[in-house]
Structure 1
Amino acid sequence: MSNIIVVGCGRVGSQLANMLSDNGSNVCVIDKSAEAFAKLGRNFNGSTVQGIGFDEDTLLKAGVEDCDVLAAVTQSDNANLMCTEVATHLFDVPHVIARLYNSDHERAYAQLGIDYVCGTSLVAEEVFGKAVSGHGAHLETFGEYEVLRFSLSLAHLERRTIRVSEVERDHDIRIVAFERADGSASSIPTGDSILYHGDTVMACVRHELIDQFSAFVQK
């Protein structure tokens, strides 16, 4: 069972929290207004914490130390950004997702490596998909493809290396760049390039294959 914190209990946050809870996740919702929790309805079986989503004490009360995913979906881009920074850098939350209102900031979010959802419709559904699949940081969307950045885990293999051509063939993706885990080198790969456990990889993945590919990455 995943432990997920949702920051913001407006229309999107309350819908997202219920979707995650119905999916079997352990959900805690944070909002600065106690009245906002009424939007969750009587059937919500998660927990709530009143407070500011980027406040350390509030996050600790919400269980951030055991958190698998944090979704910051308040109505403020600045608040959402601060939530992601605190969750990532102070508490090492593995997967952090932010709602982004101002599309002019997409480039900055991409450069910071922040996984985000930008738009005004179906936001809860998109964040839900990211939270459940647990795939790596979203960089861009091109039609039916998403560009993802993730840390490659090969712990499930007897060997700790794999060729780019093997990953592309087995998972029907295209790897466009990688960086060594120790930061010693980065490269645009060929099919013969070798990837190591812990390397940071950028890949183009079709939407319908994200769940399957995420299962491989996170084994």
Structure 2
Amino acid sequence: MHIVIMGCGRVGSTLAHILEDKGHTVAIIDQSPEAFRRLRGGFKGRRITGFGFDRDVLVEAGIEQASAFVAVSSGDNSNIISARVARETFGVENVVARIYDPRRAEVYQRLGIPTVATVRWTADQMVRRLLPEGVSSLWRDPTGEVVLAEVQSDPKWIGTKVAALEEAAKTRVAFLSRMGEALVPTGDTVIQDGDVIHVMAASSDIERINDAVSQRPEQRVE
């Protein structure tokens, strides 16, 4: 499919290379011609100099045939305006905008424009490495209400069925990390030594879940 990217910075240029390697056609827009130097020599996509919210520039980039539009410039306002033009004027359904301000990201998410709030994500990743114990947030939606969290469970849960942990914590286990590989468990899956448990839950429930998995399980596998 054809994808239009606004912003040829480090993220935009990397994304353009990844998409092209996957067999998609790409057009990348940037107001500075110098930015295109970040593209590799063999890049086959279109390079358009201009503003991503300019309709003529978008048409030149092939927005009318595009299946997706990505706004990853350095400006929140430019990204969201461009995303709205792509969706509302040209009818592109698959639109994503990078937003640095997490408060703005929440607003635009509610308007139906998917956003990637890089500041919040980066902060979460830093906290995971600074404070590795307890519950670590791996992903958080722009509103901050839903998180994918890594739970450091008590060794007492080894040998216990996942269903028992889910019942005790009143949550669902999204997946287990086992020996470096991800495993989607069933209720009968038994927790093994070294398993890292990941849950998807409301952020307000995370501390309660952490407390629950820190207690001795009531049911063990026979």
Q: Please classify the TM superposition score into its range, dividing by the shorter chain length.
A: 0.5 to 0.7
Q: Cα distance, 1:95 vs. partner?
A: 0.5
**Quick one: distance in 1 between partners of 2:25 and 2:121?**
22
Q: TM-score, with normalisation over the residues of structure 2? A: 0.55
1:142 to 133, 147, 151: 147
Letter in 2 for 1:142: V
From the CA coordinates, give the structure whose radius of gyration is larger.
2
CA contact (8 A) 2:70 2:97 kept: yes
CA contact (8 A) 2:102 2:142 kept: no
CA contact (8 A) 1:113 1:139 kept: no
Residue number in structure 2 paired with 1:7: 6
Q: Deviations over 1:56-81 (max 9, x none)?
A: 00000000000100000000000001
**Quick one: distance in 1 between partners of 2:52 and 2:112?**
20
**Quick one: distance in 2 between partners of 1:142 and 1:14?**
29
1:54-69 equivalence runs, <5 A: 54-69=53-68
**Quick one: distance in 2 between partners of 1:76 and 1:34?**
17
Residue number in structure 2 paired with 1:18: 17
Residue number in structure 1 paired with 2:72: 73
Q: TM-score, with normalisation over the residues of structure 1? A: 0.56
CA contact (8 A) 2:67 2:94 kept: yes
Q: Deviations over 1:125-157 (max 9, x none)?
A: xxxxxxxxxxxxx7655216xxxxxxxxxxxxx
Q: 1:121 to 1:15 in 2, by over 3 A?
A: farther
**Quick one: distance in 2 between partners of 1:35 and 1:102?**
26
CA contact (8 A) 1:69 1:96 kept: yes
Q: Cα distance, 1:99 vs. partner?
A: 0.4
Letter in 1 for 2:16: A
Gaps of 5+ in 1: 124-137, 145-172, 174-205, 207-219
**Quick one: distance in 1 between partners of 2:48 and 2:121?**
25
Q: Cα distance, 1:94 vs. partner?
A: 1.6
* Alignment length (residue pairs): 134
Gaps of 5+ in 2: 123-140, 150-173, 175-199, 201-222
Q: 1:87 to 1:56 in 2, by over 3 A?
A: same
Residue number in structure 2 paired with 1:217: none
